Structure 1
């Protein structure tokens, strides 16, 4: 430890150089943004005879509706609506969903290099999903759909990217620099003491 303290300059330069390289890497990585639209599954007034059963049924269909949001059928509509230069399969790679089975709320999460496009993808996906569910759930006798998917909150464009994580890269750079600098000092000391 005394050897490293006597050559602290080498360690410091190594830490600064490694952190500079880490910062350079973060600058070269294209930022990725995430936007999240929250959707709510509601039930038609006509089937609300037993509130508990209706709520349980709504919770059970949330997973199915969330799965529809990541399918290519919906993605092809969103590609068309937004005029994207992507295939539906490529768009589905940018969209995920998250939900808790015990609720009637789920999230449509879109990622892209553009925060505005991530927002537009999530919101358009929500709009198209709502229309698709209304078409699927329409009753044969012309009554209102048994379930509807509505926006609980619209997606917004994010100000900060989810990647790269600059702080994490700098911390890793500092640790790597500390290890390299310490190794250099110890190697130099060992060679000099022969």
Structure 2
């Protein structure tokens, strides 16, 4: 089919294409309603190193804190942290089950990272993220405590508590609708072409 005749066919039977797009988008919307939504919540953390009066000391402190980011973020999914969080939240989950909900994300700032939690409840995702973050600060404080006592010069702290985000990260309704519209457009166009060829016989 030549381009002009193809364009004319689409214009003359635009209703077929429109119905196809609407039906496909309706199916896509139905799929999103059937899927269990997943919500995400983040607690922002930062590693601190006190001291650093000179430029050299400041640089060394920054380098040290960057190295600690990898170590501390790795503790987030440890049994020690997760067991304490489960006890605080009174959740009937095992540490391994909770670990499936918890990850970390390194921020652009090399001294920072996020405790990221996904769950079917935005409130629970928030509570888990904040509790894990709080337990992490406590455990790190114990690990970094000077042998002779006193306050540690290095540690991790919460700079922004997690909040309940009621916009699910999955399913992405807008994305599903866009895919549905594209599929509907292709199906509608194909139907128009087939009908034209059948009539031309």
1:4 equivalent in structure 2: 10
1:94 equivalent in structure 2: 101
Task: Specify the SS of the correspondent of 1:89.
Answer: helix
Q: Distance in 2 between matches of 1:117 and 1:80?
A: 14
Superposition TM-score, scaled by structure 2 size: 0.89
Q: Work out which of the residue numbers 70, 79, 96 in structure 1 matches 2:77.
A: 70
2:30 equivalent in structure 1: 24
Q: Work out which of the residue numbers 172, 177, 193 in structure 2 matches 1:165.
A: 172
Q: Distance in 2 between matches of 1:103 and 1:66?
A: 12
Task: Specify the SS of the correspondent of 2:114.
Answer: strand
| Number of residue pairs aligned between Structure 1 and Structure 2 | 193
Structure 1 residues not aligned, in runs of 5+: none
Structure 2 residues not aligned, in runs of 5+: 1-5
Q: Distance in 1 between matches of 2:67 and 2:166?
A: 35
Q: Work out which of the residue numbers 23, 41, 49 in structure 2 matches 1:43.
A: 49
1:113/1:90 CA distance change after superposition, 3 Å: same
1:47-77: CA deviation from partner (whole Å, max 9, x where unpaired) = 8782321222112111110111122331122
Q: How does 1:50-129 map to 2 (within 5 A)?
A: 50-100=57-107, 103-129=110-136
1:73-132: CA deviation from partner (whole Å, max 9, x where unpaired) = 311221221111222112111111112486222111111111110100110010000011
Superposition TM-score, scaled by structure 1 size: 0.92
Q: Which runs of 4+ in 1 moved over 4 A?
A: none
RMSD: 1.8
Q: Work out which of the residue numbers 141, 147, 150 in structure 2 matches 1:143.
A: 150
1:8-28: CA deviation from partner (whole Å, max 9, x where unpaired) = 111111100000000111111
